Amino acid sequence: MLPLSNVISSLALVLMMSLVFSQEALSHAKGPRTSPEAGQVLEALPQKLEMEFNQEVILTRVQLVLPDGRKVALPLDGLERSSKHALSLEEAKAGKGQYQVLWKALSADGHPVKGAFDFGVE
Ligand SMILES: [Cu+2]
């Protein structure tokens, strides 16, 4: 017969493994693929910023840092849960230079995710 401590450690191992696998199944959002892409140089600011994640997310904040350093909060699409978001850049026209996007989102697993990338207009 197995000593009780062995049984307990086996049970603990099984429990840990199941936690690891459930985390995998519900892992948080990766990406996003964006348009404009990171590092892209454009001739003009596009009308929309597009972001595509590997799962549905809720965007909680997206800011654009303009070439002159001003930060503009982009209007969000409500609290829509989607893997694809397209935000208007109409309010952010600021000519040539380097732009930075700072974004925050809520993953399907409830974890906040965030990122930043740059693109240029020449
Ligand atoms: Cu997560």
In a domain, 110, yes or no: yes
Cα-to-centroid distance, 113 and ligand 1 (Å): 8
| Residue 117 counted as domain residue | yes
Work out how many domains the chain is built from and give that number.
1
Residue 6 within any structural domain of the chain: no
Please report whether residue 86 resides in a domain.
Answer: yes
- Residue 21 inside a domain? The answer is no
Backbone Cα Rg of the chain: 21
Q: CA–CA separation, 86 vs 88, rounded Å?
A: 7
Q: Is 5 among the domain residues? A: no
More confident residue, 64 or 15: 64
| C-alpha 31 to ligand 1 mean position (Å) | 13
CA of 35 to the centre of ligand 1 (A): 24
pTM for the complete prediction? 0.77
Average pLDDT, the chain: 87
Tens of pLDDT, residues 78-95: 788 999 999 999 988 889
Whole-number Å distance between alpha carbons of 5 and 103: 48
List phi, psi (to 5°) of 51: -135, 130
CA nearest neighbour of 53 among 118, 113, 101: 113
Domain of residue 102, residue span? 29-121
Query: For residue range 21-51, what is the model confidence (pLDDT) as tens digits?
Result: 555 456 888 889 999 999 999 999 999 999 9
Would you say 62 and 116 are in contact if contact means Cβ atoms under 8 Å apart?
no
Residue 3 lies in a domain: no
